[in-house]
Amino acid sequence: MKIAVIGVGLIGGSLALCFRGKPDIELVGFSHRQDLADLCVERGVVDSATLSLEEAVQDADFIFLSTPVGLLETYLEQINALPLKKGCIVTDVGSTKASIAGRARELDWGEACFIGGHPMAGSERSGVQAATSLLFENAYYVLTPEPDTDPKSTEALTRLLELTRAKVICLEPTQHDEIVGAISHLPHIIAVALVNQISGYHDNNPLYRTLAAGGFRDITRIASSDPVVWRDILLNNRFNLLKLLRDWNEQVEGFIDQLEREDGEGISERFRSAGDFRNELPERRKGAIAKTYDLYLDVPDHPGIIGRITTELGSRGINLSNLQIIESREDVPGLMRLSFRDEVHMERAKESLESLEFDVYV
């Protein structure tokens, strides 16, 4: 079986690593730059890489189109124009589905077919260097087959995606975009708007940035997402987002009205209903917004304490991806944030640090 990955970045590279080393699977990566192609091979993500799209897709059984959303339709058209193997399944990983599905319907696929896809998992990091075979584990992987798509093709793609350890579900493309617009795209807009609002206040008073550390930084972390990637996503899903933003304005206007009327009970009810719904959300499954795996612990201002913590974790084979001292003052315990790439390492670190009598918080 030959699998071609067009665009071997975080998502494409992680898919490749899920398939890598399985019996009778050949992985070929396509890149537009030789240094990136070489890097994919050097890191063992694919068996080979090429700058030729035709060479990459030749005799491929599956083609994963893993380029940014703004380039999906261009590459889809280029692939469609090439000779494809009988029964070849072309799929994408874009976070919007209606536009790519609409363009695919306009193309003649002959004895091949296109099935849209969206693995609902991500990372704060990007590029093939951030690729991991664990990225999709316990996440939803959405497929958007057409009503006339051969069920055998959908079944074949689903079986292959089982290697990612994701949960595969099927949705209609427009329904997908409505839902993901609400749970992912809208929150990104709100986070960016909020950070820019505080940035404006900071221009007149530097204390805004000083005091916005900790919780504010955490709840707005998605505002640091790639600007070009999100420009393309938002423009692609703009019709859904315009409706969602109008609905959001109604929510904001509701708070304005309650504050003007000093409606304390109404405000409390909003928090109660939001808390009830949020508590029903599954904690263990990954979603459209990348989950973080952070621990916080109080650390005394003693020489060597950071080295002791990192040494202890390293000696136990616990993979620490980032470390930050949020606050450290003389005679007052500092607050340290430890970040991990997955829940397994986070839980092991929590147990280890608690056994060393550190106060650890999730």
How confident is the model over 181-232, as pLDDT tens digits?
999 999 999 999 999 999 999 989 988 888 886 678 888 888 988 898 899 9
Closest C-alpha to 156, from 139, 168, 173 = 168
Q: Can you give the pLDDT at residue 47?
A: 95
C-alpha torsion angle, residues 184, 190, 191, 196 (rounded to 10): 150
Angle, in degrees to the nearest 10, between helices 238-260 and 264-279? 140
pLDDT value for 316: 86
Q: Computed from CA positions of residues 242, 94, 87, 152, in that sequence, does the dihedral angle turn out positive or negative?
A: negative
pLDDT given for residue 182 in this prediction = 96
Domains of the chain (ranges; CATH) run 2-171 (3.40.50.720), 176-254 (1.10.3660.10), 293-361 (3.30.2130.10)
The secondary structure of residue 93, as a DSSP letter, is -
Bridge partners of 170, per DSSP, are 143
* CA 296/CA 215 separation, integer angstroms: 12
Looking at residue 328, its pLDDT comes to 42
Residue 214 is predicted with a pLDDT of 66
* Residue-level pLDDT at 331: 41
In this prediction the pTM is: 0.79
Please give, one letter per residue, the 3-state secondary structure of 292-321.
CEEEEEEECCCCCHHHHHHHHHHHCCCCCC
Give 152-174 as a DSSP string.
HHHHHHHHHHGGGT-EEEE--HH
pLDDT score recorded for residue 247: 97
Strand partners, 27: 3
What is the predicted pLDDT for the residue at 149?
95
- The CB density around residue 278, as the number of other CB atoms within 10 Å, is 8
Q: Is 158 exposed, middle or buried (0-12, 13-18, 19+ CB in 10 A)?
A: middle
Q: Which residues of the chain have pLDDT under 50?
A: 328-333
* Distance in angstroms (rounded) separating the CA atoms of residues 20 and 41: 12
